[in-house]
Amino acid sequence: MTDHYYTSKPNAEKNEKEINATLLGHSMTFRTDAGVFSKDRVDFGSQVMIDAIDDSIFPNKHVLDVGCGYGPVGLSLAKANPTLEIDMIDVNERALDLAKTNAVMNDVENVSIFESSIYEQVKRTTYGAVISNPPIRAGKETVHKIIIDAKDHLVEGGVLIIVIQRKQGAPSAKKAMEETYGNVARIGLDKGYWVLQSIKA
Distance CA 169, CA 132 (A): 14
Each residue's pLDDT tens digit, 89-131: 999 999 999 999 999 999 999 999 999 999 999 999 999 999 9
Q: Mean pLDDT in the chain? A: 94
The DSSP letter of residue 195 is E
Name the CATH architecture for the domain at 22-199.
3-Layer(aba) Sandwich (3.40)
Q: 35 or 197, which is more confident?
A: 197
Q: Which residues pair with 88 in a beta bridge?
A: 65, 113
pLDDT value at position 137?
82
pLDDT the model gives residue 93: 94
Tally of helices (H runs) and strands (E runs) in the chain: 5, 9
Helix (H) or strand (E) holding 101: helix 93-105
* C-beta contacts of 11-20 below 8 A and 24+ residues apart: 11/35, 14/94
The two beta strands, 62-66 and 26-32, are unpaired
Task: Give the pLDDT confidence score for residue 185 in this predicted structure.
Answer: 98
Give the end-to-end CA distance of the chain in Å, rounded to a whole number. 41
What tens digit of pLDDT does each residue of 23-39 get?
999 999 999 999 898 88
Q: Cα separations (Å) of 17 from 39, 78, 80? A: 8, 23, 24
